Amino acid sequence: MSRVLAALSAERIKLVSTRAPWLAIAAAAGVCVALAALQAWGSRMGDIAPEDTAVAVAMVGVPVLMVVASMTVTSEFRTQMIRTTFLVVPNRYLVLAAKAVVSAAVAAVAAAAMVLASVVAAGLVAPPMTTDALSLLGGGPWLLAGAFALYAAIAAVLGVGVGALIRAAPGTVVLLLLWPLVIETVLALLPDVGPQVGPFLPFVNGVAFTGVELLRLGYDLRWGGVGGLVYFTAVAALVFAVASVVVDRRDA
């Protein structure tokens, strides 16, 4: 038990003492809040729901949090610090698990904060008749923040897994950004391909759990919101498991 706590503490200290991840999170949060405010201002007298204000969190916030999670692995491979880490903690499965847990915790808190900040910003500039749904006194924004916290935590684990598999930061960043924003979007919207592959796209299912509608799909997802999250979790767990085995067997 002491080894587990020591590994978690070491990963927490590494993340807290590094400036780049926090700058990336702050920049993503700023973009999410600004876009939510612009969306609310442009709505005029139209209704705006908490889910509408969180579109940017799904499109910008969570992908950035995945990249931040991957940096806990790729940065150590780049600087060869990973060799020291494996000397201190010989159990490589434990090292990767500790990175995933710490990254998931940070991603969950950051995503929830982005959602709540976006709702507040939208409520400040939205027309008076539409602000009731954006009040933090209601349960809607908090449920949305909780849903995003869970989705972002799982996405962070996926980010750690991808980072461990690729190792190089540029390739990892490109894949983690293109996968949800470009590859899945194109596949989901293709007339002939979308209905066949769309229900099996991980991020499409993960976002469906939050209630945010990023894409206007002409078909229904097979498992609904909760089932979609379970599917997304299974994909993330599979990638992370494969990454753990590869890291354990491959030289650092």
For 23-29, what is the mean pLDDT? 97
Confidence bin at 169 (pLDDT 50/70/90): very high
Task: Give dist(CA 70, CA 15) in Å, integer.
Answer: 11
User: For residue 75, how many other CB atoms are within 10 A of its CB?
Assistant: 17
pLDDT tens digits along 34-85: 999 998 887 765 678 888 899 999 999 999 999 999 999 999 999 999 999 8
CA 176, distance to chain mean position in Å, is 10
Q: Average per-residue pLDDT in the chain?
A: 90
Question: What pLDDT is recorded for position 160?
Answer: 98
Number of structural domains (the chain) is: 1
Gap between the Cα atoms of 221 and 232, Å rounded: 13
Return the structure tokens found at 211: 């209630």
| Contacting residues for 22 by C-beta, under 8 A, at least 6 apart | none
Tokens of 236: 């993330």
Where does the pLDDT of residue 21 fall: very low under 50, low under 70, confident under 90, or very high at 90 and above? very high
pLDDT tens digits, one per residue of 88-138: 888 999 999 999 999 999 999 999 999 999 999 988 887 766 656 777 878
3: confidence class by pLDDT, cuts 50, 70, 90: confident
Confidence (pLDDT) at 46:
61
Query: With a threshold of 0.85, does the pTM exceed it?
Result: yes
DSSP labels for 115-134? HHHHHHHHHHHS-GGG-GGG
Q: Which domain holds residue 200?
A: 2-249
pLDDT 10s digits, 203-243: 999 999 998 887 666 667 788 889 999 999 999 999 999 99
Dihedral sign for Cα 93, 180, 51, 116, please.
positive
